[in-house]
Amino acid sequence: MKVILEGWPKHFSDTPDSIKPLYSLGSHFSTDDGIITFDDKIYIPTVMRSEILQRIHDGHQGVTKCRERAKSCVWWNDLSKDIANFVEKCSHCQLYKRTQKKEPLITTPLPDRPWQRIATDLCEFQNNHYLIISDYFSRYIEITNLKKNTTSMRVVEAIKTVCARWGIPETVISDNGPQFTSRQLKLFAVQTAKTMLRQTDPTLALMIYRSTPIEVTGYSPAQLIMGRQPKTTLPIHVKKLQPEWPNINKLKEKDRETKKRYEHFYNKRYGAKSLPELKPGDVVRVKTCHDKIWSSPVNVASETDQPRSNIVQTASGQLRKNRQNLQQNTGHTDCHLEQYQNRIPETNNNTTTDVASPQPKKSYTTRTGRRVKSVNKLDL
């Protein structure tokens, strides 16, 4: 208070350590009825900042809204940064935080041959369960009606039947595929299968899909997995039914260029941004596409050998989750953060140079002689 009324030291070196961070802003300070103000805002002492931050965050608005609410009333050094940290660490806000943004797309190279890498998934349609298997090389789809039996034995039996036709794959992608394109292929296969099952003749629809060229490769799934185009309900020249394998090098190049364009537009459309990697011991919250809020905090148990995939330890056991479904937890049990009470050290003696110690004097003036209009006191 004294430095405001009598003027700040001429040299920075003569300024008490407790108020040196405010020296360059000295002309903005004044007093009004014993209250220290910064321009037309009330300066908040360090011992009161935790409480004021809680009041700023009443209603649990986001960082931008909280800053707008605060900047017309109160001020202290690093207020904007403190608000951002406070909101980020609020447990309530973390619980109801929006789903994280999508990460940059990771494309999967085209396998070297058919049925080398496949994806499997289960879907339900009209009270029946179906096993969907799709081939990464050809986009060929197999659909098996499991009826109401989804036991492990029945699913394995269905997979064996399909493998009896096409052979044993080297890689099988099931739930929680680490790469986005793995999940995309499964989603595409399930949606395509359901579209076929809704039709009057699903078997005919499946045959037509298998014989229709895919835009990415320019060949039909049947051509890429069998080396020939099957005869369908459309008239076709007999020469086109002769076995003929496509040029694998040109096929891979076209597939690579198409996926590169898709990757670019996908990242641009969704504003994709990479999330920080998690390490064992990190505290996270879990939220899948079926959840409305984030879970209670759990620990990361371990990493996996696949990108964007972690093992988390929950009350029901260990689960493997994609990184997008894991939010790093920075919250506390409540919003009271004592760290804001020690931003600028207070002097332990009774010196009157401490800006954060208001006096009952009513007169005020600035270092340059400028007079400031009175402001209404806040009922803090």
Domain boundaries, the chain: 1-90+340-380, 117-270, 283-328
CATH 3.30.565.10 fits 117-270, yes or no: no
Give the pair of three-digit tokens for residue 267: 């990242």
The amino acid that residue 76 corresponds to is W
Question: For the chain, what is the mean pLDDT?
Answer: 80
For residues 366 and 29, the answer to whether their CB atoms sit within 8 Å is yes
pLDDT digits (tens, 9 = 90+) for 134-164: 999 999 999 999 999 988 899 999 999 999 9
For residues 125 and 105, the answer to whether their CB atoms sit within 8 Å is no
Query: Higher model confidence: residue 82 or residue 316?
Result: 82
Write phi, then psi, for 19 (nearest 5 degrees).
-120, 10
What DSSP character marks residue 27?
A: G
**Per-residue pLDDT band at 379 (split at 50, 70, 90):** very low
Q: Which CATH class is domain 283-328?
A: mainly beta
HSE-up of 19 (CA within 13 Å, CB side)? 23
Residue 201, pLDDT score:
94
Query: Higher model confidence: residue 98 or residue 266?
Result: 266
Residue 138, pLDDT score:
94
Helix boundaries (H) for the chain? 2-6, 49-56, 63-71, 79-88, 91-95, 152-166, 180-197, 202-211, 221-226, 248-270
**pLDDT > 60? residue 182:** no
Give the pair of three-digit tokens for residue 275: 């999330």
CB atoms within 10 A of CB 152: 7
Distance of CA 185 to the CA centre of its chain: 21
Question: Based on the number of CB atoms within 10 Å of its own CB, is 144 exposed (0-12), middle (13-18) or buried (19 or more)?
Answer: middle
**pLDDT > 50? residue 179:** no
- State mean pLDDT over 212-216: 88
* Fold observed for domain 1-90+340-380: Endonuclease III; domain 1 (1.10.340)
pLDDT digits (tens, 9 = 90+) for 69-125: 898 899 888 899 999 888 888 878 877 777 788 888 888 889 999 999 999 988 899
